[in-house]
Amino acid sequence: MSDYKNKNKNTNKNKNTRNKNSSTGRYKAGAEKGTGRKRPAAAAKKTQSSDRRGAAVVKHKHKSAEPARSARKEQVRPVRAARSKQKPVKAQRHRSDAPVRVIPLGGLHEIGKNMTAIEYGDEVMIIDCGLSFPDDDMFGIDKVIPDFTYITTCGKKIRGLVITHGHEDHIGGVPYLLKQLNVPVYGMQFPLGLIRNKLEEHGMQAEMHQIRPGEVFRLGDSFRIEALRITHSIADSICLKIDTPAGVIFHTGDFKIDYTPVDGNKIDFARLAQIGSEGVLLMMADSTNVMRPGYTRSEMKVGETLDPIFRSSRSRIIIATFSSNVHRIQRIIDIAIRCKRKVAISGRSMVNVFELAKELGYIRIPDNMLVDLNDTRKIPDHELVIITTGSQGEPMSALARMASMEHKTIRIKKGDMVILSSTPVPGNELTVSNVVDQLIEKGAEVIYSDIAETHVSGHACREELKLMHSLIRPRFFMPVHGEYRHLQKHAQLAEYLGMSSRDIFILSNGDALTLTGSSAKKQAGAVQADAIMVDGLGVGDVGNIVLRDRRLLSEAGLIIVSAAIDWQARKLVAGPDVITRGFVYVRENEDLIDATCQVAKETIENALSKNVNDWNAIRTSVRESVKRFIYGRTKRTPIILPIFQEV
């Protein structure tokens, strides 16, 4: 008890010291930053030298006073958070008036492709590097990644890439970035495991540093980062407190406020309140669910919904969910075990993530309860659960192939119960509806979010966003992670909570927000930030012109006009012949094809008779004459491609 009293006395002394120093933002030599505690000169000198190497330093890997210091800080937090007279922070502590630039390269005015750079002097750090999936008019495109032009020009300035969590819209672009730059990657255990799997598929390796919640580490001399646990729909999600020379930048990452998380790892609200009390210059916050009022339901609610469904069913259960949501997969496994059902896994991404999560301890299942998909025929229907991919109706997913009877192992039969533990991502509603219809046609009973609460979001609704704003109380605010309507609504929410509209900044990808300790200024179009399309192995080689041609081909097809010309004799030797693809069925439209040939022939002969010596001019004449003729007969505008051979 006497030790406890002594610690409290020391805490009160330290608190007074910190209050004296906080107005200037300067720290006494040999004192621990943020606490005002004295530490031995040797230890202080050792830490400073290690921090100034210019390379990234992960604190817990060095045998120093850091573990004990972290323990002492934990004792200070409740005392700090319990103060009742906490006024909004009007001025941000800062150590320098030199500007810091925040540059979003993705994730604004869109859902996905999240990537942000923070620049100070000759040092740059990156937050996340994700991808987005192609729009309906991006024919043949597999995925879309951020534009790395600015990052590659920075080159050796890059100090590291920090990952907030392991969803594709935050890590999907990492392999493509690492192919261009050797950047150290920092993140929690699970997202680093997912990235490692991606790199193996690309035949790559990378320098990776695992961090833990509450850990403080440095990137170069300019960025001191504290990783804080946050709740989301994937394990090991974090938000970031970033100390910069201009002040503190707080990045929420993707989050929701879940008071009863499945893994028991709750948000440290006391620490968030302490960060807000110490002063935050800029907050960047998730805007995905800002249009939704109220609160996002806890992940525990899904388990409460699924449990009675499993107990009452005597059928085979097939449940589709996101492969990355290992907490939900664990809940499904727990319910299956209670109902004495074996579990099988289907879908490549589901199998890969399941094996990784099981290896790292995020998923626990007795060996005798897990069965191979090929052995499911031997198990009675009422004793089997199949966890699969395809909750978004993806054409090649396991569930879609089951619905179309193309799956090599699982055949949907009458009486099967299929549960979609998800809601359609905007744009996927039609594909999900088609899969549901196919399943019902096969005789399956389909349960989805419109029927039962089989899914909860991983993003904060308005009341949770209000709580985050009230805890952090930033000087400036920049909404991120959302389309323009989401960003605007989030800006309005911040203004409703008392922020001045002059202190709220809605940026676009490629803009820059320049920060000093007392000001913020938006610079439009500061860097190049286009959407880079990935088509097979090609990265960035498909642009708007190619997409336009693909769109035209998909809408009206292609007509090829070929002919052989004797240039010296100035006469048509062979053809012209007309070949079509995706235009009309030739056997039923021979008259139209013959007439097109005649139009092309007359155009070529007319050009030759006028001594036209330019091949391109003849091609253009043929293209325009055939185009006018075809449109007059069919009201269609296919691509016309003249091909001439010189004899």
Using DSSP, state whether 318 is helix, strand or coil. Answer: strand
Strands 532-535 and 520-523: unpaired
Among candidates 164, 216, 221, which has minimal Cα distance to 195? 164
Under 8 Å between Cβ of 257 and 231: yes
530 is catalytic: no
- Bridge partners of residue 386, in order along the sequence: 318, 344
Q: Is 388 left (phi over 0), alpha (psi -120 to 50) or beta?
A: beta
DSSP-derived secondary structure for 27-76: --TTBPTTT--B--HHHHHHHHHHHTTSS-EEGGGS-SSHHHHHHHHHHH
Under 8 Å between Cβ of 466 and 286: no
113 — phi, psi (to 5°)? Answer: 60, 40
Instruction: Indicate which residue of 169, 236, 243, 286 is catalytic.
Output: 286
Alpha helices per DSSP H over 239-316: 269-278, 300-312
Helix (H) or strand (E) holding 106: strand 100-106
Under 8 Å between Cβ of 343 and 371: yes
Tokens, residue 227? 């990783």
Instruction: Indicate which residue of 165, 167, 459, 481 is catalytic.
Output: 459
Give CA torsion, residues 193, 195, 196, 200, to 10 deg: 140
Under 8 Å between Cβ of 511 and 484: no
Among candidates 481, 534, 507, which has minimal Cα distance to 111? 481
524 — phi, psi (to 5°)? Answer: -75, 140
Among candidates 83, 464, 46, which has minimal Cα distance to 295? 464
Burial call 228-246: b when 16+ CB within 10 Å, e when fewer: bbbbbbbbbbbbbbbbbbb
- DSSP state for residue 409 in the 8-state scheme: S
Supply the angle between the helices 326-338 and 348-360 in degrees, to the nearest 10. Answer: 80
Under 8 Å between Cβ of 298 and 260: yes
Among candidates 33, 389, 362, 70, which has minimal Cα distance to 188? 362
Among candidates 254, 220, 225, 219, which has minimal Cα distance to 242? 225
Under 8 Å between Cβ of 78 and 11: no
Among candidates 253, 214, 219, 259, which has minimal Cα distance to 237? 253
- Alpha-carbon distance of 475 to 518, in angstroms, equals 9
Half-sphere exposure (Cβ direction) of 230: Cα atoms closer than 13 Å: 29
Under 8 Å between Cβ of 246 and 515: yes
286 is catalytic: yes
- Alpha-carbon distance of 422 to 445, in angstroms, equals 16
Q: Which residues are catalytic?
A: 286, 459
